[in-house]
Amino acid sequence: MEVVDNYLNEAFNEAFYTVRNNVGGPFGAIVVMNGKVIGKGGNQVSSQNDPTAHAEIVAIREACRKIGNFDLTGAILYATCEPCPMCLSAIYWANIQSVYYCSTRHDAASIGFKDYHIYEELNLLPEQRKISFRQIDNPLALELFKEWTEKTDKTLY
Amino acid sequence: MEVVDNYLNEAFNEAFYTVRNNVGGPFGAIVVMNGKVIGKGGNQVSSQNDPTAHAEIVAIREACRKIGNFDLTGAILYATCEPCPMCLSAIYWANIQSVYYCSTRHDAASIGFKDYHIYEELNLLPEQRKISFRQIDNPLALELFKEWTEKTDKTLY
């Protein structure tokens, strides 16, 4: 497990830098492919005014820029904390192979972050959530998906 | 509901543009605050090589840039399709007030997108998922959160 610990320590370096330089919250992440770090970063929410700039998203976006592809099949992600549902889903969309993390969603909740709260909300029916989600019928919905299905030069992801 | 329908139609305009110009998948979104559109966009995954560039994320990031804040309290998001768990979580992190959408996660699955699959995976224990998630103890985890807790000039989000 020495390799895993070393990469996790690199993720912690990102997180400590982030906290000490007021870049964002106390989180860091590293993306590794074929034994090479291809993306890394800390949380940048407050400095970038971007609520989606979590460490894992920052590292995934950098990795994709580096290899020029939205598909990170075979990559491993190391994160200082359990990914929130946003980052977990980004990991699925990027086809990352496996994830190692240290703190949990409960640890994050204990210092004031709402990762655990969002995990709970996701399991509720849209109309039961704290944020109102309403489905509205629109004839364009079917038309749009039909156009996509029939499109012959599309890029799937 | 005329206002809601009008904003949803604007989101569909973004999505049709996106499909017809090979920008990305068939999805669009609009962020409205105080009756003004402050962010909009279509999916840009394939053209930007960014697996996180879903329409909702693109629109939220643009809205935050526009108002210079990571907090969109009071904003309403209109999306052509039910947000995937990544986008749903981003909506929580951005403190968006309510969401209107047309197609569902099941409609998206029927044309080959894995939104529904990710919703299912989120409910599994980390060790039961298709992507392996492993928690590793590290003494830096506690140290990092302690440093954050004791930091007096931090920006909370």
DSSP code of residue B154: P
> Given A4, A50, A91, which is nearest B136 (Cβ)?
A4
DSSP code of residue A127: G
Are B52 and A52 in contact (CB < 8 Å)?
yes
State the number of CA atoms in the 13 A half-sphere of A26 facing the CB.
25
CB atoms near residue B157 (< 10 Å): 18
The per-residue pLDDT for range B31-80, each reduced to its tens digit, is 999 999 999 999 999 999 999 999 999 999 999 999 999 999 999 999 99
pLDDT value, residue A1? 72
User: CA A71 → CA A31, A61, A88, A95, B27, distances in Å?
Assistant: 13, 11, 15, 6, 19
For residue A114, list chain B residues with Cβ-Cβ distance below 8 A: 92-93
CA dihedral angle for residue B97, residue B103, residue B104, residue B110, rounded to 10 degrees:
-160
> Given B46, B65, B89, which is nearest A86 (Cβ)?
B89
pLDDT value, residue B81? 98
pLDDT value, residue B150? 97
φ/ψ (deg, to 5) at A21 = -110, 15
Are A157 and B99 in contact (CB < 8 Å)?
no
- For residues A31 and A38, the answer to whether their CB atoms sit within 8 Å is yes
For residue B14, list chain A residues with Cβ-Cβ distance below 8 A: none
Chain A closest-CA separation from residue B107 CA (Å)? 9
Interface test with B, best of A89, A100, A146 (most B CBs within 10 A): A89
State the number of CA atoms in the 13 A half-sphere of B20 facing the CB.
7
Cβ-count burial of B62 within 10 angstroms (0-12 exposed, 13-18 middle, 19+ buried)? Answer: middle
Which amino acid is present at B136? I
What length does chain B have? 157
Residues of B identified as active-site: 56
pTM: 0.97
Give the separation between CA A28 and CA A40, rounded to whole angstroms. Answer: 8
Determine contact: B82 vs chain A, CB below 8 A. yes
User: CA A112 → CA A32, A138, B134, distances in Å?
Assistant: 29, 39, 23
Determine contact: A99 vs chain B, CB below 8 A. yes
Q: What does the pLDDT profile of chain A (157 residues) look like in tens digits?
A: 789 999 999 999 999 999 999 999 999 999 999 999 999 999 999 999 999 999 999 999 999 999 999 999 999 999 999 999 999 999 999 999 999 999 999 999 999 999 999 999 998 988 889 999 999 999 999 999 999 999 999 999 9
pLDDT value, residue A153? 95
DSSP code of residue B37: E
CB atoms near residue A5 (< 10 Å): 14
Give the separation between CA A98 and CA B23, rounded to whole angstroms. Answer: 29
The alpha carbon of A116 is separated from its chain's Cα centroid by a whole number of angstroms, namely 15
Residues 6+ apart with CB under 8 A from A49: B64, B65, B68, B69, B70
Cβ-count burial of B3 within 10 angstroms (0-12 exposed, 13-18 middle, 19+ buried)? Answer: exposed
For residue A46, list chain B residues with Cβ-Cβ distance below 8 A: 70, 155, 157
- For residues A80 and A24, the answer to whether their CB atoms sit within 8 Å is no
For residue B154, list chain A residues with Cβ-Cβ distance below 8 A: 19, 22
Chain B closest-CA separation from residue A135 CA (Å)? 5
State the number of CA atoms in the 13 A half-sphere of B105 facing the CB.
16
The per-residue pLDDT for range B118-139, each reduced to its tens digit, is 999 998 988 889 999 999 999 9
φ/ψ (deg, to 5) at B81 = -135, 155
Three-state SS at A77: strand
Are A148 and B45 in contact (CB < 8 Å)?
no
Token readout for B25 is: 């998948």
